[in-house]
Amino acid sequence: MEAKESLLRSWLSRFEGELEAGMAFWLKNSHDKEFGGFYNCLTRDGKVYDDTKYGWLQCRQVWMYCKLYRETAQYQSEEVRSAAIAGGEFVLKHIYRPSNHRCYFQVTREGLPIYMQRKPFTEVFFILAMTELCRVTRETRYQEVADKVLAKFRYWAREDDSELGRLHLAGEPKCNGLGVPMMFLCVLQEICLDDKKQLEKHRDDFQWCVQQILPHVKKDKKAVLENVSVEGNMLPGSKGRLMNPGHAIEAGWFLLRYASLVNDDRLKDIAISDFILLPFEVAWDSDKHGGGLLYFLDVEGFPQTALEASMKLWWPHCEAIIGLLMAYDEQKEDSILQNFKKVFDYSLKHFGDPEYGEWFGYLNRDGSPLDDNPFKGGPYKSCFHTLRCFHMAVQIIRKILNSE
């Protein structure tokens, strides 16, 4: 018991250190003081190697800064607050497109639009950013624009997504992908937090999300499938057999957090056993390959064509850290803590960078860096998964220590 407490305290202190080093990296290197917003493409030691600004990442960094501002004493500073506002204003002006409530995926340093995706995920991160910015500033205009985009996102998710511009051709099977309902669930949680009235107001959407997410579990295949038919059945071919363990685990902790808020014990059990523990166990690579979470699986063992399938990426490890800690906090099973220790040790050893702070993102299957010249920030890696993980890990471990 004491050994466990001392382990928890040592992990706590490591996460506090990683949070401090990671946040120092972004505060120092990513602020564009001339045009607002954040530099996203940063070398290992923080130099800008490309000044393109990515919509997902601009929004996520605003959200992350606001969260840390509101929830930690350390980052409740004018520096963090004003950087969040400057980022939010850039996003509002240059990422958001008021005419159709869509958001650009990529803009120039100055904010001129380069590219719009046909997926609605920049919009998700925009809602998160504006919602948090309203809490930090108490300016309701941020919430008002978030509400407009949320209404659109809800329509695309639940009614009709043809406005997004992707043709649905006759041979494409109608598909329930995990991404949309899990991100919708995340957005709803961030809007409501633990406000019972808000939870009640969005109850129907919450239930829709849960109903869309649960059929992805296929216990007989030991799988959480990324894509199922609208009836919840397995789709043919590689698309139907695809499992994205990091996505499954992330969906798992979204579900667990929601189940805790609404006191749904059955949903808690499903979230932990099927979405967190099952994917962790099937995706943890063998000792022969040095462990770590595989990025994709074909649940029937057929060849995979995605280049990253057998790589080790930072973000599924971040999600596993959060998911396993939440699951342990709920169930207090030692076996969960043993899995947590595996992913903690692996991540700090392979992704961590004591010299410059913030984690590396992309490793070969054997845990070596994918490239001689690894970057810290790129088109999909920014001030988000790592810091969210460190911050939440600190919060959860403190809660566990206080309750013991």
Residues lying near a copy of itself in the complex (CB under 8 A) are found at 41, 43-44, 49-52, 104, 106-108, 110-116, 167, 169-172, 236-239, 301-305, 307-311, 362, 364-365, 370-375, 378-379
Residues 260 and 212: beta-carbon distance below 8 Å: no
DSSP 235: P
How many CA within 13 A on the CB side of residue 33? 4
The span from the CA of 378 to the CA of 66, in Å, is 22
Q: Which amino acid makes up residue 212?
A: Q
Q: Is the dihedral of CA 124, 315, 207, 170 positive or negative?
A: positive
Residue count (the chain): 404
The pair of three-digit structure tokens given for residue 36, joined into one six-digit string = 């607002």
The span from the CA of 367 to the CA of 311, in Å, is 8
Mention every residue, 6+ apart, whose C-beta is less than 8 A from residue 144.
Answer: none
Candidates 70, 86, 82; CA nearest to 38 is 86
Candidates 84, 109, 111; CA nearest to 97 is 111
The span from the CA of 35 to the CA of 82, in Å, is 14
Q: Which residues of 246-261 are buried (b: 16+ CB within 10 A; e: fewer)?
A: bbbbbbbbbbbbbbbb
SS3 106: strand
The span from the CA of 146 to the CA of 384, in Å, is 19
The span from the CA of 205 to the CA of 202, in Å, is 5
Strands 375-377 and 41-43: antiparallel
Mention every residue, 6+ apart, whose C-beta is less than 8 A from residue 140.
Answer: 134
- Distances in Å between the Cα of 102 and the Cα atoms of 61, 156, 166, 382 are 19, 11, 14, 21
Question: What is the chain's alpha carbon radius of gyration, rounded to the nearest angstrom?
Answer: 20
Backbone φ, ψ for residue 396 (5° rounding): -70, -40
Q: Token pair 């919009």 is at which residue?
A: 123
